[in-house]
């Protein structure tokens, strides 16, 4: 790490010789492997952009020139080059974010992890600076080929094509993958460009000959340089980007710093919008991350850096429970199909895809399209299951509302990583879904409390043909089964009052509603209140929206109701209060959930503790409210 320690900012990179740049690349790659193996994080994507990021910072003057990363999980090398040399606190509470963070550095701009936004940011920044007379400042958007499958990119490109005089550079980080292999027409188009060496590559070949055989090489290089326009017409026919009026350079070897610098300097000096197409390899330089199972190195836990094997064996996950049940349903019902937005593996669809390849649609990073396509599949007589992270449903709210709910289409949404996800930070937390879903007429939302309930909820959801249904569950190891002591209609009673107790005829002091994974917390709260002499009943509604008549009936016998949920405070709680008011049940409802704030990264338990959504603070609050 000797050379990297001398780099306190991008200006230090500009003094390095070519040999030192190669040394720095090796140091950074070695450091990433050994550091991320201890903390977990996005290893493969960052190994693929080492040289590309170095070249960016050698050519442009950050932060005066703005470099945007889409998505920000490729920002680790950028962090190292901008003075953040210690990644040991990566994604830990109080440590470095796994994404760019404005609180950490003036070099960071886009903090969120939602892909396909960088070009809209870029034209906004570049246009704003032009209006302010700051035309000598460049804006650079680094966008992965997978993000080009998102519709916002093409909305932005359409706009950018009208403003071609802006000092705006688009760098396509083309590694043929988003999480897994990039699919679709754009992936095929980029593949066709990779198959056609462009004139810039021919020029770079001539330049390398110059270095190896100065006399002959210079003649070759100068000849080729003089006829480059003709070469372009021969080996680089007009492509889609150039048809839009955008200057196109490439493909360029993204692991050749010299080649990248040459292309980027040409883009820098062009005086308008330029698209630089860089070819990279995800996981480059680390054999385990480029082998057959490369996709599991997109994001890793703690691993052995020598073998790439995990050091911690995780238990069965919530996603595993869903995945297995979907395969069983697929065998039973040939109308069940699945859709996802470039997240086939992390949302658990890989086994279903292997068993039923013709019944899975990976549409790329295009959640809006996925949801409306699902409405069409439903209209055609199928039952689509749309599988996304809960945070990414935010992007398709209008389609859920207007295409699925308004048209009463039977579409099931499976929201993985619901509630607090933790280490990936504010934009990954799936904390908005319950509040948003409460606005949708006719939607039915299930929040399973354990793995067995995941399977039951999924089966019930796909039986609904006249409305959208949602099954949501958190990230991580699945909770231990919580058996109901009895059922009250569709509501599971997890803790009941003692029918032989002194207070049996006097009703219940408190009815605690545990939403999904918070059922275990609800039981802990009940134990603490019962120890103080309170009579407490704990229930799991299973289907939390709309609020069932069975839950309303149980509330009639209680003096107060508490709702504990891992979404924004009041998501389900407000709906319960409204349902009771509509039914004429005059019982106070106390809602406990996540605050209206963007929550910094940390483990799930740390975040829940930080915001007071654990048993002790909730019980203490209820004691004061029930007094």
Asked whether residue 226 is domain-assigned, the answer is: no
How buried is residue 496: exposed, middle or buried, by Cβ count under 10 Å (0-12/13-18/19+)? middle
367 has binding-site annotation: yes
Q: Which of 326, 483, 439, 425 is nearest to 100 (CA)?
A: 425
Judge if 500 and 380 occupy the same domain: no
**What percentage of the chain reaches a pLDDT higher than 90?**
75
Judge if 414 and 496 occupy the same domain: no
| Tokens 């706009």 sit on residue | 159
Asked whether residue 201 is domain-assigned, the answer is: no
Per-residue model confidence as pLDDT tens digits over 370-411: 999 999 999 999 999 999 999 999 999 999 999 999 999 999
DSSP bridge pairs for 274: 169, 247
Pairing type for strands 491-495 and 486-488 reads antiparallel
Give whole-number Cα distances, 35 to 20, 79, 85, in Å: 22, 13, 11
Predicted confidence band at 292 (pLDDT cuts at 50, 70, 90)? low
**What's residue 231's pLDDT?**
39
CATH number at residue 497: 3.40.50.920
Judge if 465 and 499 occupy the same domain: no
Q: Comparing 3-17, 233-247, 419-433, 527-541, which segment has the lowest mean pLDDT?
A: 233-247
114 has binding-site annotation: yes
Judge if 333 and 374 occupy the same domain: yes
Asked whether residue 311 is domain-assigned, the answer is: no
Average pLDDT, stretch 292-313? Answer: 76
Which residues are part of the catalytic machinery? 282, 367, 395
In SS3 terms, 399-450 reads as HHHHHHHCCCCCCEEEEECEECCCCCCCCCCECCHHHHHCCCCCCEEECCCC
526 has binding-site annotation: no
| Tokens 């606005």 sit on residue | 439
* Average pLDDT in the chain: 89
Domain boundary among 297, 332, 349: 297
Instruction: Please give the DSSP secondary-structure letter assigned to residue 359.
Output: G
pTM: 0.87
**What's residue 229's pLDDT?**
43
3-state DSSP call for residue 575? Answer: helix
Predicted confidence band at 29 (pLDDT cuts at 50, 70, 90)? very high
418 has binding-site annotation: no
CATH number at residue 279: 3.40.50.970
Asked whether residue 568 is domain-assigned, the answer is: yes
Asked whether residue 357 is domain-assigned, the answer is: yes
107 has binding-site annotation: no
Asked whether residue 220 is domain-assigned, the answer is: no
Judge if 417 and 336 occupy the same domain: yes
Per-residue model confidence as pLDDT tens digits over 324-374: 999 999 999 999 999 999 999 999 999 999 999 999 999 999 999 999 999
DSSP bridge pairs for 492: 487, 540
User: With 60 as the cut, is the pLDDT of residue 620 above it?
Assistant: yes
Per-residue model confidence as pLDDT tens digits over 228-249: 444 343 344 446 677 777 899 9
User: With 60 as the cut, is the pLDDT of residue 531 above it?
Assistant: yes
Asked whether residue 307 is domain-assigned, the answer is: no
Predicted confidence band at 499 (pLDDT cuts at 50, 70, 90)? low
Domain boundary among 472, 502, 517: 472
User: With 70 as the cut, is the pLDDT of residue 586 above it?
Assistant: yes
**What's residue 195's pLDDT?**
57
Per-residue model confidence as pLDDT tens digits over 184-228: 666 666 666 655 555 455 445 555 555 555 554 555 545 545 544
Judge if 284 and 143 occupy the same domain: yes
Judge if 332 and 400 occupy the same domain: yes
User: With 70 as the cut, is the pLDDT of residue 532 above it?
Assistant: yes
Judge if 261 and 374 occupy the same domain: no
73 has binding-site annotation: yes
Judge if 385 and 417 occupy the same domain: yes
Tell me how far apart the alpha carbons of residues 130 and 141 are, in angstroms, rounded to a whole number. 17
Whether 104 and 85 have beta carbons less than 8 Å apart is answered as no
Number of domains within the chain: 3
Judge if 277 and 335 occupy the same domain: no
Average pLDDT, stretch 133-158? Answer: 92
DSSP codes joined into one string, 435-497: HHHTTSTT-EEE--SSHHHHHHHHHHHHT--SS-EEEE--SSBPPPP---SEEETTEEEEE--
Whether 591 and 88 have beta carbons less than 8 Å apart is answered as no
Asked whether residue 485 is domain-assigned, the answer is: no
> Which value, to the nearest 10 degrees, does the dihedral of the CA atoms of residues 311, 312, 318, 324 take?
60
Tell me how far apart the alpha carbons of residues 218 and 211 are, in angstroms, rounded to a whole number. 9
Judge if 149 and 24 occupy the same domain: yes
Whether 527 and 512 have beta carbons less than 8 Å apart is answered as no
Judge if 186 and 266 occupy the same domain: yes
Host domain of residue 459: 318-472
Average pLDDT, stretch 175-179? Answer: 67
């Amino acid at each position: 790490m000797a050379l990297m320690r001398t780099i306190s900012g991008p200006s230090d990179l500009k003094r390095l010789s070519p040999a030192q740049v190669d040394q720095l690349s090796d140091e950074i790659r070695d450091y990433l492997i050994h550091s991320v193996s201890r903390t977990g994080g996005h290893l493969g994507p960052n190994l693929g952009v080492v040289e590309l990021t170095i070249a960016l910072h050698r050519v442009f003057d950050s932060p005066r020139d703005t470099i945007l990363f889409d998505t920000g999980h490729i920002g680790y090398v950028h962090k190292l080059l901008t003075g953040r040399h210690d990644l040991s606190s990566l994604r830990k509470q109080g440590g470095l974010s796994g994404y760019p963070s404005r609180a950490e550095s003036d070099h960071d701009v886009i903090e969120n992890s939602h892909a396909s936004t960088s070009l809209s940011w870029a034209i906004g920044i570049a246009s704003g600076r032009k209006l302010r007379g700051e035309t000598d400042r460049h804006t650079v958007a680094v966008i992965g080929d997978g993000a080009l499958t998102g519709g916002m990119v093409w909305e932005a490109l359409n706009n950018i094509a009208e403003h071609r005089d802006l000092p705006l550079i688009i760098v396509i980080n083309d590694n043929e993958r988003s999480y897994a292999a990039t699919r679709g027409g754009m992936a095929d188009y980029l593949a066709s460009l990779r198959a056609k060496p462009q004139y810039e590559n021919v020029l770079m070949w001539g330049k390398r000959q110059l270095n190896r055989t100065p006399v002959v090489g210079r003649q070759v290089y100068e000849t080729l340089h003089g006829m480059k326009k003709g070469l372009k017409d021969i080996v680089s026919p007009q492509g889609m980007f150039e048809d839009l009026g955008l200057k196109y350079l490439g493909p360029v070897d993204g692991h050749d710093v010299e080649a990248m610098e040459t292309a980027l300097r040409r883009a820098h000096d062009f005086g308008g919008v330029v698209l630089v197409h860089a070819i990279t390899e995800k996981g480059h330089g680390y054999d385990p991350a480029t082998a057959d199972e490369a996709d599991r190195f997109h994001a890793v836990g703690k691993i052995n850096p020598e073998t790439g094997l995990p050091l911690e064996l995780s238990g069965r996950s919530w996603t595993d429970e869903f995945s297995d049940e979907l395969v069983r349903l697929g065998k039973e019902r040939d109308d069940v199909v699945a859709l996802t937005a470039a997240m086939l593996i992390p949302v658990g669809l890989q086994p279903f895809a292997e068993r039923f390849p013709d019944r899975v649609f990976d549409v790329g990073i295009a959640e809006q399209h996925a949801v409306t396509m699902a409405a069409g599949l439903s209209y055609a007589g199928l039952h689509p299951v749309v599988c996304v992270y809960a945070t990414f449903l935010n992007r398709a709210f209008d389609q859920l509302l207007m295409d699925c709910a308004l048209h009463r289409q039977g579409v099931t949404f499976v929201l993985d990583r619901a509630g607090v996800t933790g280490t990936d930070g504010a934009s990954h937390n799936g904390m908005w879904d319950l509040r948003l879903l409460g606005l949708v007429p006719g939607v039915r939302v299930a929040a399973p409390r354990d793995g067995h309930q995941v399977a039951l909820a999924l089966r019930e959801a796909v039986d609904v043909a006249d409305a959208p249904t949602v099954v949501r569950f958190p990230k991580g190891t699945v909770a231990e089964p919580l058996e109901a002591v009895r059922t009250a209609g569709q509501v599971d009673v997890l803790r009941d009052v003692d029918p032989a107790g002194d207070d049996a005829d006097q009703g219940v002091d408190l009815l605690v509603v545990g939403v999904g994974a918070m059922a275990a917390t609800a039981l802990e709260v009940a134990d603490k209140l019962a120890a103080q002499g309170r009579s407490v009943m704990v229930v799991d509604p299973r289907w939390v929206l709309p609020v069932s008549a069975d839950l309303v009936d149980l509330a009639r016998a209680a003096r107060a109701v508490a709702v504990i949920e891992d979404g924004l405070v009041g998501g389900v709680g407000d709906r319960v209060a409204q349902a009771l008011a509509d039914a004429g049940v005059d019982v106070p409802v106390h809602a406990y959930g996540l605050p209206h704030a963007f929550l910094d990264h940390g483990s799930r338990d740390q975040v829940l503790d930080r915001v007071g959504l654990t048993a002790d603070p909730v019980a203490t609050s209820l004691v004061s409210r029930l007094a």
